[in-house]
Amino acid sequence: MNESVTSNTASKILANMSGLIPELELLYKDIHAHPELSMHETRTATIAADRLRKAGYDVTTEVGKTGVVGLLRNGEGATVMLRADMDALPIAEATGLAYASAVKGTDDAGNVVLVGHMCGHDMHVAWLIGAATLMSQARMAWKGTLLVVFQPGEETAQGAQAMIDDGLLKRFPTPDVILGQHVMVGPAGTVAGSAGAITSAADSLQIRLFGRGAHGSMPQASIDPIVMAAAVVLRLQTIVSREIAANDAAVITVGVLQAGTKENVIPDEAIIKLNVRTFDPGVRMHVLAAIERIVNAEATASGAPRNPEITQLDHYPLNVNDEEASNRIAGAFRSYFSGDRVKHTGPAPASEDFGCFGTSWHVPSVFWFVGGTDPKIYYEAKEEGKLNDLPVNHSPKFAPVLHPTIETGVEALVVGALAWLA
């Protein structure tokens, strides 16, 4: 597709964006203030479905429980799928925004938790509604089929597979390409991506260690699972530092260590929950095998009465951008955006289930990032060497600046789709 044609067509379609932005801002604030936990996004899904119907799409709801699919056929041409995730996190928001969430929800374990859109999926929903609306309003400018997917449960790695298991691949046209994007720390107004691996594979594990409880004054009568767990946690850190080559990448993070209820009681067991991020299948297999080896060895060294139990909590696949499709997207972006707004980035250690769609359909997919940080704040932090001080996704203080983040995300989806549909 000629990049100048794509840019010219995008300019025509996006000419109507300024009139839509106030509505999208209100929509974003509303969704931000009413977050919903993974696989429970009923209110958000209803909003998305209503907006798509209003824009003239054929709409199917409850795909994979709460997923929404909109289909707009507009003559002969390619089929492009655009995807946004909808779910929020069990995190208490601390942004201080006037539209901050005070919502409580019940998680799958039955716990009442505060809920917040601290990963930016509310922005993703607003972007996709905006792009879908503008594409519908300007049907004379493009040809083909637009498949718009609002996905549940990204934060728990459930949603994409749930939609696939619910017949997504058989119920809707096979796309020629699948496109998605994510708001991240970075100067607002910019887009960034690259061919190849773009987000990491992720594995979350629970390790249950068994000991023998006793009174705190009589440790000789116990097999202390807390000491066992502490040894495991420390030894796990040596996998990356001593078993993974310096030119490979892996991260092991222990996020939960639970044991006991009273200071003078040695408990029977301890729980460790950890997360692994990798960019290479071979490295992933080595890390997972090393974790199992270390856990079992420490239990044996402690004289544990039972073998540890290692349970996988969730898995995100490695998300790989198709090279040819990525180059097409990059060319379209460079043609439409000014040069300083298009950045090249290496793979991010964050993880996504977006790649499940392309893998299952056996079609190319491309995923990129949109900056959401006030440019002045970002560049000042960079100059001072304090980029790590900026609130990142999943921080209680993560809050993308509204403008030009809303505009840029809508532009990127429209320009990306038109690389096949113009």
Give phi and psi for 71, each to the nearest 5: -125, 125
352 is in an annotated binding site: no
Structure tokens at 120: 């930016």
CA separation for the pair 381, 187 (Å, rounded): 11
CA separation for the pair 411, 405 (Å, rounded): 10
Q: Report whether 214 contacts 222 (CB < 8 A).
A: yes
CA separation for the pair 240, 236 (Å, rounded): 8
Structure tokens at 323: 């090279």
Question: Helix or strand or coil: residue 85?
Answer: strand
Question: Helix or strand or coil: residue 198?
Answer: strand
Phi-psi region of 263 (alpha: psi -120 to 50; beta: other; left: phi over 0): alpha
121 is in an annotated binding site: yes
Question: Helix or strand or coil: residue 357?
Answer: helix
Q: Report whether 190 contacts 341 (CB < 8 A).
A: yes
What is the full DSSP assignment across 239-272? HHHHHS-TTS-EEEEEEEEEE-SSTTEE-SEEEE
Q: Where are the alpha helices (DSSP H) in 213-367?
A: 225-243, 281-302, 323-336, 355-361
Q: Report whether 368 contacts 329 (CB < 8 A).
A: yes
Burial class (CB in 10 A: 0-12, 13-18, 19+), 13: buried
Q: Which of the 8 DSSP states describes residue 76?
A: S
Binding residues: 119, 121, 155, 182
Binding residues for Mn(2+): 119, 121, 155, 182
